[in-house]
Amino acid sequence: MVGTFVGFTTYLGLSAVGIDNAFVQLVGVLVVAVGAMALLGAVIARYLVLPLKSAPPLNILLITLMLGTVLRESVRLFYPDGSNPKPFPYLLPTDSWAFGSFTLRADSIILFIGGLLVIIGVNVLINKTKMGLAIRAVAQDEETAKCMGINYTFTVLLTFALGSGVAAFAGVMNGLYYNEINFSMGLLLGVIGFSAAIIGGLGNIYGAILGGFLFAALQTVGAVALPFSSAYKDVFAFGGVIALMVWRPTGLIAEKSSERV
C-alpha cells in the first residue's frame, strides 16, 4: 500500500514537471516505489525487528501488525485527501481482444509477464546465487551461518529490503490493473498473500506461488461460476483456504526439515 502511494506520488510529480510519456512514467513509478520500499523494509528490520530477535515470536508478530496499522492510518490522515480512493493512472496499453465471450486485455498480459519475471528473478536469487545461499543459511541456523563468515545483519536487512521491494512492485501492479488505490488496500492484500503462503506451505517459494494461483482460482470460481454475486468471491476463497488448512495443515508443499539428534 505504501509503495503504491509512493508510486502514485511519483506519477503526480513527473506529470507536474511535464513528463507525460507513459513508458517513462511507468519506469519512474516502479523504480521509485520499489527503491523506497526496499529502503523502508531495511530500516524496519534494523530498528524494529533485529532488536527483538531474542524476544518471543509473538512480540515480533505484534509489532509488525501494529506498524501496519501505523502506516495505514498515517496515509489516511496525512496524505492529501488520503481517506478517499485515488484514481491510479492508465500507464499500460488498453487494447483488448475478444474470443467469443472471453476478452483478453493487453495490460493483463503485460502484468502477468511482469509478475512471472519477478518470480523467476527471486527464485534465481534465492536458489542460484551466493547471496541466496546466505539468506537460506541465516534462515536455517543463525549461529552456524555467523561461524561460516556470513554477515548476519546485512543478510537480514537485504532480505527485508527484497521482500518490501517485491511488495511495492505487487502494489503498483494492483493499481495498474484496477486503476484505483486506497489506504486500506494493503490489509486485504496482506491477508491474501499470507493465506497463499499458508496454502502452499510456509518456507517454500514454489508453494507460495502455487498458493497464490490457487487463491486466485478460488476467487474466480466465486465470482463467475457460482450463482450468487461476485461480492462473495472473497468469502468463497477464504472458505476454501479454511478447508484446505483443515485437510492439509502443512500446506500443499510442506517445508522439508531435518534435525540432528
Cα–Cα distance measured from residue 175 to residue 153, given in angstroms and rounded to the nearest whole number: 33
In the block, which residue shows the cell 490522515? 77
Cα–Cα distance measured from residue 156 to residue 146, given in angstroms and rounded to the nearest whole number: 12
| pLDDT for the residue 227 | 67
Instruction: Work out the burial of residue 251: count CB atoms within 10 Å of its CB; fewer than 13 is exposed, 13-18 middle, 19 or more buried.
Output: buried
Per domain, the residue ranges of the chain are: 2-182, 184-256
Q: All 3 cell numbers of residue 259?
A: 534435525
Q: What are the mean pLDDT values of the chain's consecutive 10-residue runs (261 residues total)?
A: 96 94 95 97 94 86 91 94 93 87 88 93 92 92 90 94 95 94 90 83 78 85 72 81 82 63 53
| pLDDT for the residue 259 | 54
CA angle, 65 as apex, 32 and 257 as ends, to 5°?
A: 90
User: Does residue 120 contact residue 127 with C-beta atoms inside 8 Å?
Assistant: no
Report the DSSP beta bridge partners of residue 104. 97
Instruction: Work out the burial of residue 112: count CB atoms within 10 Å of its CB; fewer than 13 is exposed, 13-18 middle, 19 or more buried.
Output: exposed
Cα–Cα distance measured from residue 244 to residue 69, given in angstroms and rounded to the nearest whole number: 29
3-class state of residue 104 by DSSP: strand
| pLDDT for the residue 260 | 55
Q: What is the tens place of the pLDDT at every residue in 58-70? A: 888 899 889 999 9
User: Does residue 185 contact residue 23 with C-beta atoms inside 8 Å?
Assistant: no
Residues 6+ apart with CB under 8 A from 213: none
| pLDDT for the residue 242 | 87
| pLDDT for the residue 161 | 97
User: Does residue 174 contact residue 86 with C-beta atoms inside 8 Å?
Assistant: no
Give backbone dihedrals phi and psi of 18, rounded to 5 degrees, phi first: 95, 10
| pLDDT for the residue 159 | 95
| pLDDT for the residue 85 | 94
Nearest CA to 121 out of 169, 89, 73, 78 is that of 169
Q: What is the tens place of the pLDDT at every residue in 216-234? A: 888 888 777 776 666 778 8
Instruction: Using CA atoms of 81, 84, 88, 94 in order, give the dihedral in degrees to the nearest 10.
Output: -150
User: Does residue 187 contact residue 65 with C-beta atoms inside 8 Å?
Assistant: no
Cα–Cα distance measured from residue 191 to residue 139, given in angstroms and rounded to the nearest whole number: 23
Give the DSSP letter of residue 244.
Answer: H
* Single pTM value for the model: 0.88
